[in-house]
Amino acid sequence: MSQRNERSKHAALNSATHWLIHQAARRAPETLSSRLEEEWLADVESRSTALSGLRFAVGCCWASLVIVSEYPRSRVPAASPVAAASPVAAASAVAPASGYFSLADRNFRYFSLRSATLFLIAGLHAALFYGLITTLSHTPRIAAPPHLQNQPVAPVPRTKDLPPVPGTDLKDWTIHVPKPVIDVPKKMDIDVDVPGELSDKPNEVIPEPRLPPITPSHVVQRLAGGPGAGFPETADFYPSHSIRLAEEGISTVQVCVDRRGRLTSEPTTLKGSGIERLDEAALKLARAGSGHYRATSEDGQPVNSCYAFGVRFQLRK
């Protein structure tokens, strides 16, 4: 049973092989068609297995395509019936065919048909791969905001009138303010002591003393300055000799600072610590802090000012 199956399979493959070779030969140029079919049918007999023969037939299909592309139809010589009948005569008839000359010419193409096809397929794959890569690696860009433009806003139609607020629907109203009642004594005895002598001249005009104009009083909100952000650390200016001798103290330094926190003059020691090294170190610290002072502000506006602050040199216990 299995042998019959094998045999039928073998026969099917053989028939497919012969059919393919026949089709391939039919595609070949007319003058070569019969020759190639006979040649390929003879060569396929040498194949050991039916599958190998089938593969051979598929190759023949490709070979016929290549031959057709290289063989110009305009130069196909007429097939000789004598050549087909006599093997020896056929050999001499086909060999010098002028159509082969062009076949030789086409051999100088840079790529063969198969190579060109392979390159084309490889190129298509590369293009597809590149497209996929660039698509996948695409990062969404943030859209630039549109230019700001003044656009008229359409009036919003009032869809519903709001209910009146209770108590506000007074059309005619009057405010009655009671008249203040002031009890004024009808007669007052006032004793006035006038220094000096009164002038005897009647209706003498006494000039009134001129008073300075009264200006409305204004309290300036003044916020004193001091060391600000980025001001150097005191520890960085602690004299090493003082550290060894455990010298401590507070040196009060006076500085004049502009609106941008920079020194406008040389800082001076307002009250020394009693140790000259510490006072010198405090002055160095004050100089180094130029640009990092917080300016004094008046009503929120920084102004040039001079102020004092204490620099404490104290060792950690």
Partner 1 sequence: MGKKETRVRMSLQTLRVLEAFLENPTEQLAGAEVHQRCGIASGTLYPILLRLESAGWFVSQWESIDPSSAGRPRRRLYRLTSTGLRHASEVFASFNRGVLA
* Residues forming the site for partner 1 (CB under 8 A): 32, 35-36, 38-47, 55-56, 58-63, 66-67, 70, 87-88, 90-92, 94-95, 97-101, 103-105, 107-109, 112, 114
**Residue 309 bridge partners (DSSP):** 253
* Least Cβ distance, residue 63 to partner 1 (angstroms): 4
Give the H/E segment covering residue 288: helix 276-288
Cα four-point dihedral sign 123, 125, 127, 133 = negative
| 10 or 106: CB nearest partner 1 | 106
* CB 239, CB 275: distance < 8 Å: no
* β-pair type (222-223, 305-313): unpaired
State the Cα–Cα distance between residues 246 and 260, nearest whole angstrom: 36
* Least Cβ distance, residue 126 to partner 1 (angstroms): 23
| 47 or 287: CB nearest partner 1 | 47
Number of DSSP helices (H) and strands (E) in the chain, helices first: 9, 8
* Least Cβ distance, residue 76 to partner 1 (angstroms): 13
| 48 or 137: CB nearest partner 1 | 48
* Least Cβ distance, residue 114 to partner 1 (angstroms): 7
The Cβ of residue 102 has, within 10 Å, a number of other Cβ atoms equal to 14
* Least Cβ distance, residue 122 to partner 1 (angstroms): 18
| 19 or 130: CB nearest partner 1 | 19
| 66 or 275: CB nearest partner 1 | 66
State the Cα–Cα distance between residues 284 and 299, nearest whole angstrom: 31
